[in-house]
Amino acid sequence: MEKRGTMRQGEAFLTTRSEEETTYTGMVLGNSIREPLVITLNGELGSGKTVFVRGAAAGLGVTETVTSPSFVLLKIYRGRIPVYHFDFYRLDEAAALNDLGFEEYLPGDGVAFVEWADNLPGIIPAERLEITIERFHDHGGEGRRLWLMPHGLESSWLVSRLIEGVTWRVDGKLNMLPLEPFSKENGGRLGWNC
């Protein structure tokens, strides 16, 4: 994994210490999404990409269970806007060289989450939110670092909303406040009363 000495403007990172915390982080992000967008997810096997997408899909109003699309390449869910969940892990080069027609979703009329996007960089648009997840171990046990690198105004706005929206308790656990379901009026505001 690339070592990052400096952070670019708008870039952020946060730490989670359980699957639930990563799901919640995804939910906060998904809850704020207002328009079609591409979100790429990279990180080793089992780092938590699908867990994050599961949360984000819930934040986007998907009620179906989100499962890994690694065998089928793409799963589609109905949310406030359509949710396209790609996984390019098993994509072989022959398939990649053929036109699979994925460009129409990148972006299309919905939010496209792309796991293992680095396996097919050619079809990823410049404007996107790039997420990299790293596993770490320390005195507190196992955790994940989520790097959020916005490329474009909408994803910059989303990252700043996410960072404003998550807080930690003194014991280091994420404050998992209930989320108000997204509406045009509240723009996906965080709150107690839902």
Ligand X SMILES: Nc1ncnc2c1ncn2[C@@H]1O[C@H](COP(=O)(O)OP(=O)(O)OP(=O)(O)O)[C@@H](O)[C@H]1O
> Rule CB under 5 A: which residues touch Mg ion?
49-50, 68, 115
When asked if residue 160 is in the footprint of ligand X (CB under 6 A), the reply is no
Give least dist CB 29 to Mg ion, A.
17
Q: Does residue 25 touch ligand X according to CB under 6 A?
A: no
**Inter-axis angle of helices 49-59 and 19-32, to 10 degrees?**
40
In the complex, minimum distance from the CB of residue 143 to Mg ion, in angstroms, rounded to a whole number:
18
Distances from the Cα of 160 to the Cα of 13, 20, 50, 73, 79, angstroms: 11, 21, 22, 30, 23
Minimum CB separation from ligand X for residue 67, in Å?
Answer: 9
Dist. CA 193–CA 190, nearest whole Å: 9
188 contacts ligand X (rule: CB under 6 A) = no
Q: Tell me the closest approach of the beta carbon of residue 50 to Mg ion, in angstroms.
A: 3
Count CA atoms closer than 13 A to 134's CA, side-chain side.
13
Tell me the closest approach of the beta carbon of residue 93 to ligand X, in angstroms. Answer: 19
Nearer to ligand X, 144 or 161 (CB): 144
Q: Is 143 in the site for ligand X (CB under 6 A)?
A: yes
| Three-state SS annotation for 83-146 | EEEEECCCCCHHHHHCCCCHHHHCCCCCEEEEECHHHCHHHCCCCEEEEEEEEEEECCEEEEEE
By rule CB under 6 A, what string of x and - marks binding of each residue 113-142 to ligand X?
--x--------------------------x
- Phi first, then psi: give them for residue 146, nearest 5 degrees: -110, 115
Q: Which residues in this chain contact ligand X in the complex, by CB under 6 A?
A: 16-19, 21-22, 43, 45-51, 68, 70, 89, 115, 142-144
